[in-house]
Amino acid sequence: MVQAFGLPQIFYTMTMAESHWSHLHNILSKTDNKDTLPSNRPFHTYLHYHHRLSSIHQYLWKNPNLTNWGNWLHHFERDEFQNREAIHTHGIAYLSKSIPELINSNVIRADMPDPNLEPELYELVKKHQIHTCDSRYGGPAPLGSRCKKGFPQPYSNITYEDPNSLRYIYRRTKEEDLYIVPYHAPTLFLWNGHVNFQYVITRQFAKYMTKYVTKSEPSEYFDITEPNAFRKHILARRLGSMELMILLLGYSICRSTIAVEFLPSIPPEVRNKSVKPPYVLQQEEQLSSYWDDAIDKYFNRPIDNEFNDMIYPFYHRNYIIQNKQPANGIYYMDKKNRFVKKRQKEILVRFQHLTVEHSESFFYQQLLLRIPAQSEADLKKHYLTYKARFEAEFPEEYSLTLNYVQSSTQSHIQKYTRNYQNLIDNLIISLHTDLQKLIRNQLLSLSHQPNISTNLSSMIFSDDQYKIFNILMNTWGKQEYFKYPYFFLTGSAGTGKSFMINQLITSLTDQNKKYLLMAPTGVAANNINGQTIHAALHIRNTQNYFETLSYYNIQQRQELSKIEVIIIDEISMVSANLLTFISSLFAKINNIPAPFGGIPTLLIGDLAQLPPINGQQVFYAPEWQEFYPLFLTVSHRQENDRLFYNILEEVRFGSISLQTKRLIEEKVLFYQQNNVASINTTYINGFRYEADSINNLICGFLPVLKDISSETLISIADDYINHTQCIPKEYDKQFRHYTNLPSELIIKEGARIMFLTNKLFNEELCNGSIGVITKLIDENHIEVVFPIKSGINQVIVEKTTAYFNFNGAPAYRTQFPLQNAFALTIHKTQGLTLPHATVSLDAQMFAVGQAYVAMSRATSWNNLEIRSFDQDAIKVDNAMLIELDRLKQKFNSMYSSV
């Protein structure tokens, strides 16, 4: 109504005054037990209230000679029940007179009438309209101030809109006027109960509508301590006798003077339709199996000049489409021989609320509501997407929105960067001066990119991202809903796979879908705000198979049975056996013999990256064949460095051109001529011993404070077998199969380290988080600062103990859950984006995908250093290439049908 007619002129509230309504008491006194308590006689009471209000509508408010407000055009009102009993009605009204005209006519008053000139009105105002400060709202206001309801009101010689408040100030010239609730005198005469009439202003209107029309259930009125939220809502929603009587009598709690029709406005592939019954289908063998909806009827409107340029909303607002021939008047025939007749009174039409975040559905709706079209194809024309058509039709509007998104995104990044730098400066101010610059530079280089996902992020999708997002939004779902449940989203490093995950999660959250977002490692899970697969599904490994407590724990089983969507990132590191185990787990929990129990599942990753440590690659799993591939092809991490992207693609597929070989060799030569150990890069190595050597070298350059002895700078693990302490580092190689705690750790202040557990996952710290040591507290406690997505996390890390069986005997290792991290092995870096990286492309790259993963951690060719190069280090898996080629062919051959 507001969109169609603008703001109304008045609010009104009508309150039942059962103690003053003699007619009601006469009615109740004649019932079987003569009980005159209204709440005990809800049938008679509500009927009296309803007809009393209806009579005022019909005989007073619609008579401009009596009301002095002109014609009553439209209204919307809602009955409400104070604590589920006493009735009152809130409403808004559209009048033919403007508010200035109403003020000039003194339609709404807030004065105490003169008892000599208006004796009857004086008695009614005195009885019903004087505000009494209730103790529940703070009681009477102190002298010189107002109560929570705004009384006493100020003196005023005129009625005017107060720019400093949300309401009008009404004419009140006497002290006794200051407590008068505004009223409409003719209404007060007939109603004989409390009323409240107010003129409308924009801000007050929004507040009024949200407070009275869309308000939540008033559970605070009841003494409900039920811990179960659903049960608490049900108890709070208990109907009072009056409200129940409305429902039994078939009356509407909300009433309006204008009809409203809800129309579909989303693309055909996601639009619900009604299926025709069998007997109709038998009669219409060649026709559609579905009834035409409002959009179909619009496209089939009559062939006539009057309808050619008519848009969808206007057609349904002004015309009735029916199968029966009208008895009289002018009518038209549409393309399917239905009768189309102009309405006597225009109605309102409403549509699903869509925003840019709904991508193609939003742009489809905008075109449908704004451009005349004869068919679905006519709406899109020759453009590949509705978005492209919208951009062509409304370039200025599209450009303004795009500029807004880009500027707000840039502003968000700048604000995040400033806040992060302030956090660092506040942190290091208390540190030793020799450490301040060292730690500041490291924390700046390790900072996370802020999440720029917003409701308008679809505006900055690349073409391939936009295409894939719409495929998933329109076709990904359960098969019983005529959708497809299994997709695999892939692309090179930096093509925006994590960004797509953020967009999908935003959409799933808006739809209140319960999803499970997982990744095989802590770093990968933390990057997407998900969980590790093992933690989410309570999986533990044995030597030969997986097992889960979810089969036996009722609570865990129930939680997993509620999952509606599964997303797994970094799928290349998931083994075929693990994928099959996850699929079987959900099939058993849901008792559905289908992959993943029929739950819509999205796998994400790059098969060219590191394969699983143990087991076959994921594409050997039987379930893999069910997944339909989607390819991202535009690099964003290296979007301003096309040269680097092309080099990475060659390394990814193991085909190095002469130009790329020359460029890499130039990098090696430059490094060898300027070889200086640096703390502002991350060294990526294939072998652990090489990483340890570099860490020892760089840590040796860190300053040593005078009050710290050299013995405290190295933490040696305490190893025990069968309760007997071992010689330090004696079993280092053997223990690596049982724990990731290092045998030795350099703990200098300023040293870069990596966290090795997921115990602080809820604090955005995981196995793989990188930070800097800022303080040595004692031999068992270290202060470490970690850059996280929300800023900085300063934690005290203490030694921990890992227990395991070694050759049949109990064993354990006690050590800080940290490792030095100026240099890391390749497996520790998958999932990380590093501002600067230094790699060695030589014999250290002993496995497929390692060279590609190592190089692609850097953000640009300038921020990558290469220490050495041997072309044999570029290794790829031929089986992976064959599988990737199969997936590409499947995608290219089937894309047009999705």
Residues 375 and 465 in one domain: no
Residues 214 and 315 in one domain: no
Stated as kind and residue range, the H or E segment containing 592 is none
State the CB neighbour count (10 A cutoff) for residue 577: 18
Tokens at 657, concatenated: 């051109």
Strand 744-746 vs strand 331-333: parallel, antiparallel, or unpaired? unpaired
Residues 589 and 684 in one domain: no
In a domain, 177, yes or no: yes
In a domain, 430, yes or no: no
- Mind listing the pLDDT tens digit for each residue in 41-89? 888 888 999 999 999 999 999 999 999 999 999 999 988 876 545 788 9
- Mind listing the pLDDT tens digit for each residue in 278-318? 877 777 666 778 889 999 999 999 999 999 999 999 999 99
Asked if residue 143 has pLDDT above 80, the reply is no
Domain boundary among 579, 601, 632: 632
With cut-offs at 50, 70 and 90, classify the pLDDT of residue 220.
very low
Q: Residue 222: what pLDDT?
A: 42
Domain boundary among 393, 419, 450: 393
Query: 590-628 burial string, b = 16+ CB within 10 Å, else e?
Result: beeebbbbbbbbbbbbbbbbbbbeeeebbbebebbebbb
Asked if residue 151 has pLDDT above 90, the reply is no
Residues 67 and 209 in one domain: yes
In a domain, 135, yes or no: yes
576 touches 616 (CB < 8 A): yes
Dump the DSSP string for 651-706: HHHT---HHHHHHHHHHHHHHHHT----SSSEEEESSHHHHHHHHHHHHHHS---T
3-state secondary structure 384-410: CCHHHHHHHHCHHHHHHHHHHHHHHHH
Asked if residue 519 has pLDDT above 80, the reply is yes
- When pLDDT is averaged across residues 523-529 and rounded to a whole number, the result is 84
849 touches 609 (CB < 8 A): yes
Token look-up 């004796």 returns 119
350 touches 263 (CB < 8 A): yes
Asked if residue 749 has pLDDT above 80, the reply is yes
Residues 151 and 25 in one domain: yes
Is the pLDDT higher at 406 or at 237?
A: 406
Token look-up 């848009």 returns 311
Residues 200 and 299 in one domain: no
Please state, rounded to an integer, the average pLDDT across all residues of the chain.
87
590: alpha, beta or left? (left if phi > 0; alpha if psi -120 to 50): alpha
Residues 695 and 835 in one domain: yes
Q: Residue 229: what pLDDT?
A: 59
In a domain, 404, yes or no: no
Counting other chains too, the contacts that 781-788 makes at CB distance below 8 Å and 24 or more residues apart are 782/747, 782/816, 782/818, 784/753, 784/755, 784/818, 785/427, 785/439, 785/443, 786/755, 787/420, 787/443, 787/446, 787/447, 787/448, 788/448, 788/763, 788/764
State the CB neighbour count (10 A cutoff) for residue 96: 12
Is the pLDDT higher at 222 or at 383?
A: 383
Domain boundary among 365, 393, 421: 393
Domain that holds residue 340: 268-393
Residues 572 and 688 in one domain: no
625 touches 485 (CB < 8 A): no
- Mind listing the pLDDT tens digit for each residue in 806-847? 988 999 999 999 999 999 999 888 878 888 899 999 998 988
Question: CA-CA distance, 58 to 282, in Å (whole number)?
Answer: 51
- Using the 8-state DSSP alphabet, how is residue 78 labeled? E
Asked if residue 231 has pLDDT above 60, the reply is no
- When pLDDT is averaged across residues 469-480 and rounded to a whole number, the result is 87
Please state the domain count of the chain: 4
With cut-offs at 50, 70 and 90, classify the pLDDT of residue 219.
very low
Residues 326 and 296 in one domain: yes
Helices (H) and strands (E) in the chain, counts: 32, 35
With cut-offs at 50, 70 and 90, classify the pLDDT of residue 134.
low
In a domain, 894, yes or no: no
In a domain, 455, yes or no: no
Question: CA-CA distance, 552 to 564, in Å (whole number)?
Answer: 21
- Mind listing the pLDDT tens digit for each residue in 200-211? 987 777 777 766
Q: Residue 713: what pLDDT?
A: 83
Question: CA-CA distance, 757 to 766, in Å (whole number)?
Answer: 6
Stated as kind and residue range, the H or E segment containing 320 is strand 319-322
In a domain, 638, yes or no: no
- Mind listing the pLDDT tens digit for each residue in 409-432? 788 888 888 888 888 888 888 787
- Mind listing the pLDDT tens digit for each residue in 692-743? 999 988 888 888 765 555 455 889 999 999 999 999 888 888 998 889 999 9
Cα end-to-end span (Å), the chain: 39
Q: Exposed (0-12), middle (13-18) or buried (19+): which is 446, by Cβ within 10 Å?
A: buried
Q: Residue 223: what pLDDT?
A: 46
Q: Residue 217: what pLDDT?
A: 46
Q: Residue 796: what pLDDT?
A: 95
With cut-offs at 50, 70 and 90, classify the pLDDT of residue 226.
low
**In one letter, which amino acid is 489?**
L
Q: Residue 92: what pLDDT?
A: 92
Residues 621 and 694 in one domain: no
Question: CA-CA distance, 500 to 630, in Å (whole number)?
Answer: 12
Tokens at 543, concatenated: 């030597």
Q: Residue 642: what pLDDT?
A: 82
Q: Give me the phi and psi of 320, to 5 degrees please.
A: -100, 135
Question: What is the number of alpha carbons within 13 Å of residue 63 lying toward its C-beta?
Answer: 10
Rounded to 5, what percent of the chain is helix, strand, coil?
A: 40, 20, 40
User: H helices of 446-575, where?
Assistant: 463-475, 497-510, 522-527, 533-537, 554-561
Q: How far is CA 47 from CA 35, 446, 486, 534, 856, in A?
A: 16, 71, 57, 63, 75
Question: CA-CA distance, 759 to 112, in Å (whole number)?
Answer: 70
Q: How far is CA 25 from CA 14, 22, 30, 764, in A?
A: 19, 5, 9, 67
The CATH number of the domain holding residue 627 is: 3.40.50.300
In a domain, 417, yes or no: no
Of 373-377, 425-429, 465-469, which one has max mean pLDDT? 373-377
Give this prediction's pTM: 0.66
Question: CA-CA distance, 129 to 196, in Å (whole number)?
Answer: 8
Residues 657 and 627 in one domain: no
Residues 275 and 239 in one domain: no
Q: Give me the phi and psi of 568, to 5 degrees please.
A: -125, 120
